[in-house]
Each structure stands twice: as structure tokens, then as C-alpha cells.
Amino acid sequence: MKVLKIGTRGSDLALAQTIILRDALSAPDLLLETHIIQTQGDLRLDAPLGSSSPLDKGAFTKELEISLLRGEIHVAVHSLKDLPTENPPGLTVAAILPRGPTHDVLISKWPGGLEALPKNAHVATGSARRKAQILQDRPDLTVEGIRGNVPTRIRKLAETESLAALVLAQAGWERLQLSEKLCNPLNLHTQILEHFLPAPGQGAIAVQARESDSPTCRLLASVHDPVTAECVTAERLLLAKLGGGCHLALGARAEKVSEGIHLQAIWFEDARQHFAEALAADTEEVAELVFAAFLR
């Protein structure tokens, strides 16, 4: 019987995403082991995220990649939006699972969504992209940082009198079934922010392996979703062209259409805002078209 050691962070969301991979790989001759590995991002909850963060670029991925390179695990499971655009030498993204929802969701103490929040209310997010899009809609709001796993952030909202709302990824909120488990019991309200553009790769689960581990790469090919991969590749190519990491204030959503790939993106650069969209036959071309439009 083949043993596959799966490395993951220990957060509720990381474990839920690992279960999605385990279910997809389930086979009678395969023994799946889950190995929890703590990352800098898990240990340094005092450190802010973003361009001024003292944490390394791969705050939520580096320790998993080190364990993979050492041969301690066979695969590492990541939220793709946390993964730097360049793999360390010797590693490859061997599978991208079918994508979940790409949108953000507002969790609020008031019904009616973002526009219904009281004037000058405080909204929490650790994302520069989300902050910029929130203030684009509601410049009167105060946006402050927040750390912790997804359920912890929701509980902080409920327990913190000064906080009116927070913004999360819809995919994580749904994968953890937090509407039923937390939001409803805490009398919190939700609104899908359909007009916000997500982080590149948001909603997608990436599985890394060693390039030299051909049996594991072949196994992962069976759960790889090429349409999701094509879309997130376009988004991440644009991110790489802008020279930014996971915390760049960039929103991007690519969709597969009959003519090729349609990519929409918004980039907040200091006080400037750039929006562009393009349609092209392949990922490299569409990313280059949007990148060129940003620089005009």
C-alpha cells in the first residue's frame, strides 16, 4: 500500500482544504497521512501582513516547502493566493483543484451590506486590496487590520464593540460552513461583495510536490483541474509582472470563455487606481495586455 504524506497548516480552513484533497485522492490502495506544520504566519499573529510586514514573502508556505524539500512529506496543500508566484528550485505545483467561489463576503452586525454600515464605522481586514475597494465604496469608513484564523476573526467581530464588520474570502467561509456554525448564532449578517475583484488565485487550492517525485506528480494529475489552472495562471502572471507578492493591492479575476481567457483587474498604486480588462487566446497574452494597459 502506498503512503502519501500530506503537509498542511493547522488552521480550520487549511484542514478543511486538506480533506477536499484527501476525498479527491481516495483510493483503496492509498494510505493518506496528514502532517500539520506551523508556519511563520501562524506563529507571528502579532505581525501585520502587507508590504511593511516583518514576515517573509511566503509567510504561510515556507515551512511547508522546506518540509517537502527535505522529503518529510510528499505533498503540501496551500491556499493558492498565499503561494508566491515562483516555486523554490525542485518544487512544482503538481495540481490545482477545482476552484471554489472567488468573491469576498462582508460579515456585519447590520443587515443591508456595505452601504448600510453606520457612517465612520470600523471594518476589519488584513488585505490592502480589500481595504482599497472598501474605501472606494465608502471613503468615510475606518479600515483596520485583523489577524487570526477565519473563525477567530468572526468571534473577534462579535466580541469587539468598536468593530462593525469584517471582510473574508467567500470560499473559506463556505468551506467551513460558517454561516450556520457562527454567523447565524452570533446574529451576524452576510453580503457577497460581487463587485469586488478577488486576490489572484482566490478560491483555488494548490498542491505542491517535488519535481523529481514522478509517482506523486502522476497521482496528483488525476485531481488537477485544467480550466481552474488556466484562469489562476493568468491572474498570477499579472501579479508577477507587477513585481508584487501576495499582499499587493491587486484584484484580478480570469474566466474561461469560448474565445480564450477574459481577465479583469484593478490595481491600487499609492493614491492611483488602475482598471483594465482584456480577452486573449492564452494566459501569457492576456496578462501582458492587462499589464500594458496598467502602465499607460
Strands 104-108 vs 142-144: parallel, antiparallel or unpaired: unpaired
Grid coordinates given for 6 = 500530506
Q: Which residues are catalytic?
A: 82
Contact 124, 226 (CB under 8 A): no
Give CA separation, 148 vs 42, 64, 153, in Å: 8, 19, 6
Grid coordinates given for 114 = 456595505
Contact 82, 60 (CB under 8 A): yes
Alpha-carbon span 245 to 226, nearest angstrom: 24
Alpha-carbon span 134 to 39, nearest angstrom: 29
Dihedral, CA of residue 114, residue 117, residue 120 and residue 125, to nearest 10: -50
Bridge partners of 3, per DSSP, are 31
The residue with cell 471582510 is 167
Contact 252, 243 (CB under 8 A): no
Alpha-carbon span 168 to 107, nearest angstrom: 8
Helices vs strands, H then E, count in the chain:
10, 13
Nearest residue to 172 (alpha-carbon basis) of 153, 144, 197: 153
